[in-house]
Every structure is written in structure tokens, then in C-alpha cells.
A = this chain, B = another copy of it.
Amino acid sequence: MKHCESCSARKSGIFCNLNKESLNDVSHHKVMNHYKKGQTIFFQGNPPMGLYCVSSGKIKISRSGNDGKEAIIRIAGPGDVLGHRSLFSKEKYEATATVIEDSSICFIEKNYIYSTIQSDPSVALNVIEKLSRDMGIAEKKSAAMFQKNARERLADLFVEFSEDYGLKVGDLIKLDIRLSREEIASLIGSAHETVIRLISEFKEEGILVLEGKTILVKDLEKLRLFANYNDQ
């Protein structure tokens, strides 16, 4: 069994301030599961029984509309917590979590989470801080859907990906995340054909380089400019 103490994802999680002893306690209350690409961790509509702590891999959190159109809320990676929102608001899951890259995810039981929050103010504060940050991101995204056009939203996403999943390859930044054009479209709220067209535009303009279907960023500054300003 992998121990929390040695989990590379711990430093950014909600248990980051715990001492060795408390962390050991958490370790004994978690169960680690391994998921293959395509598997579902939880479904929209189900009741939460605890929370999930991502050790490795990538997961998409999505909501399906009544016409079947999927909207991807966010992508979660190592150190991220899943299902906490519904757990704490005492509602059913309002989104579905699907693994997009083989993942190792720890499950921690509801009761244990609540008792830890109540007994350790630092955990409570971490949860509050995390929720607040996520809230800011959600609000920003919601405003962007209205204030920015598809090109700006896509540039936004690629800037974000460069920061979160960017690997240096020569003077390029390789985006180490495999999403279909359809999924990218669901992230920025557009049709997949639009994403394809915009990607080839960015390629024409020397901002992106394509290597098969992986995307490499050639000119991050230009991308940032496109994401932030509205001049065309």
C-alpha cells in the first residue's frame, strides 16, 4: 500500500499541512484504486460517499445537458480532490468524473473527512482555500464564455494547459494531455469543427506546432495576447 507521506501529489492537496502522525492516520483511512482510461469514478446523480484524491493520472469532470451535449467543467490531475463539492453541499453529484489517462486515486470516507475537518482547523482552512480558488476559476470561466469569442477561449485554454501540463521540448512547450477535439470543444463551449479550424489557424500563424495530434506551443506570448485582448 502506498503511503500518503510518499505521495507526490500531497503537497498541493488539502492534507498538505498535516504532521507525520496525522498523515499516517489519513493513510490508514484511504483506499487506493487504479482506473483505466475510459472508466468512470462517479456519475452525475449519484450520492457522494466520500472524496477522491488524485495521486496520478488525469480525469475529466463533465455535465451532460438534456440534449446530450457534454460540457467539461474541468480537468483534474495529481493533487486535485474530486467530489468534495457535492459531498460538502450534501447534494448529489452534479457531474460525472471520467478517467482520460490511467489514474491512481485514493478514496477517503465521508465520516473520516468530516471528523478530520472538525478536529484539525488547518484541514478546514485548506478546504476553504481550495474551494475559494476553484470558485474563482469557475466564475472567471463563466464570465469568459460571455465576454470572449471562441478564438480567445481556446487561446485561454492552451495558455492554461501550457502552465499545467507543459513540458519543454527544445524551444517548444509540449502539451502533455491527450484530449479529442470534441473534448477540447466541450471545455471551451464550442463545436469541434470550430476547434479544428482555430487550431489550424494558430498553426498557420506560427503559434502552435502539431506533431500527430499532440499540440506544441511555439509562441506562448502571442497566445497570451490572443487570450487577453479583444482587438479582432
Which residues of chain A have a CB within 8 Å of any CB of chain B? Answer: 44-45, 63, 65-67, 69, 71, 73, 84-92, 94-95, 114, 117-119, 121, 124-125, 127-129, 131-136, 138-143, 145-148, 186, 189-190, 228-230, 232
Contacts and interface: CB of A to CB of B under 8 A. Distances in A.
Contacts of A140: 63, 94
Contacts of A128: 88, 117, 124, 127-128, 131
B89 A136 contact: yes
A65 B143 contact: yes
Nearest to A92: B232
Chain A contact residues, majority secondary structure = helix
The 8 closest A-B pairs by CB, nearest first: A146-B189, A65-B147, A89-B132, A88-B132, A71-B143, A142-B142, A124-B124, A138-B138
Nearest to A71: B143
A89 B143 CA distance: 19
A189 B149 CA distance: 12
Residue of A65, A71, A139 most packed against chain B (CB within 10 A): A139
A143 B63 contact: yes
Nearest to A95: B139
A6 to B, nearest CB: 28
A132 B95 CA distance: 14
Nearest to A114: B125
Contacts of A44: 232
Contact of A91 (B71, B89, B117, B136): B136
Contacts of A134: 135
A88 B129 contact: yes
A146 B121 CA distance: 38
B131 A132 contact: yes
A19 B136 CA distance: 32
Contacts of A141: 142
Contacts of A86: 132, 136
Given A124-B117, A140-B94, A132 B67 contact: no
A71 B88 CA distance: 28
Contact of A63 (B71, B88, B139): B139
A59 to B, nearest CB: 15
A2 B94 CA distance: 39
